[in-house]
């Protein structure tokens, strides 16, 4: 069971993570903008740009997914069930909650 102080700390952490994810998405969105067929960059660097684009596209999708999870979990922190594993019902280690507040399963159930 989380104490009031712990819940507050978790909420602050989630808010900070949401802000970071939003900032990251903005940067990734610019990076994933279409690779223009620009003759001023060489063939190799154009291939590099396309490779980077697929890496950035994947990062963009992951970050967007995480942001959604963080936003969803934000309202759940006050619920008594938050902090307990949704699979086995045991309390999730507080350190784990602070690192990955969007995860609702304990370290044993996540593997």
CA atoms within 13 A on the CB side of 93: 9
Q: CA nearest 66: which of 4, 7, 24?
A: 24
Stretch that binds Zn ion, among 14-22, 69-77, 79-87, 94-102 (CB under 5 A): 79-87
Does 88 sit near Zn ion (CB under 5 A)? Answer: yes
User: Residue from 87, 91, 93, 99 that binds Zn ion (CB under 5 A)?
Assistant: 87
Each residue 35-74 as x (binds Zn ion by CB under 5 A) or -, in order, gives ----------------------------------------
Compute the least distance from the CB of residue 10 to Zn ion, in Å. 18
Does 85 sit near Zn ion (CB under 5 A)? Answer: yes
The Cα-based distances of 48 to 6, 43, 54, 58, 94 in angstroms read: 45, 9, 10, 16, 42
Does 97 sit near Zn ion (CB under 5 A)? Answer: no
How far apart CA 19 and CA 23 sit, in angstroms, is: 6
Secondary structure of residue 84 in the 3-state scheme = strand
Does 86 sit near Zn ion (CB under 5 A)? Answer: no
List residues near Zn ion by CB under 5 A. 85, 87-88, 106, 109
């Amino acid at each position: 069971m989380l104490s009031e102080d712990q819940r507050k700390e978790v909420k602050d952490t989630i808010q900070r993570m949401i802000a970071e994810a939003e900032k990251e998405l903005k940067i990734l969105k610019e990076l994933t903008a279409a690779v223009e067929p620009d003759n001023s960059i060489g063939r190799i660097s154009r291939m590099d740009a396309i490779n980077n684009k697929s890496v950035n596209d994947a990062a963009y999708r992951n970050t967007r997914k995480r942001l959604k999870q963080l936003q969803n979990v934000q309202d759940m922190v006050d619920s008594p069930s938050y902090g307990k594993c949704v699979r086995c019902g045991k309390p999730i280690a507080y350190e784990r909650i602070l690192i990955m507040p969007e995860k609702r399963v304990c370290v044993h159930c996540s593997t």
